[in-house]
Amino acid sequence: MAEKENLGNEETQEERGAGTQVRIKFNTGNLKSSYVNFCNVTSTREEVILNFGLNKDWDRSQREIQVDLEHRLILSPFAAKRLHIMLTNLLDNYERRFGKINIEPVERTGIQH
C-alpha cells in the first residue's frame, strides 16, 4: 500500500481542538488517475455535485459537442467550500509563478488568443 502525507492545508488549533496534532496519511493503493477537460457543477441545499468528463470533439465550429462524463463527485457544502479555498490558493500561486490564466471565450474561428 502506498501512502502519502498531507503536507499542506493544515487546520488551525481551533479547528483541531485543544492543540491535538492530527496527521493525515493517504492510502493511494487504489488511486486511479483520469484526464478530464470538462467540468459541470450543480447543487442542492445539502450537496454540491461536480461532474467531470472528456470532450473529444476538437472542431469548435460545431453547434453541438459530445462530452463523455466519467466521474461524479458529491460533496457537502462544507467540503465544497474547503475545496474552493484550496483551489483558489493553488491557482493564485500558479499565476504568480507562470502568469495569468486566460479563460475568455474562444472565438468562433476556434483560435484561442
Question: What is the spatial distance between Cα 65 and Cα 105, in angstroms, rounded to a whole number?
Answer: 16
Looking at residues 5-20, what average pLDDT do you find? 54
Query: Which is more confidently placed, 72 or 64?
Result: 72
Of the pLDDT bands very low, low, confident and very high (cuts 50, 70, 90), residue 44 is: very high
Q: Is the pTM here over 0.75, yes or no?
A: no
pLDDT at 110: 52
pLDDT at 61: 80
Of the pLDDT bands very low, low, confident and very high (cuts 50, 70, 90), residue 17 is: low
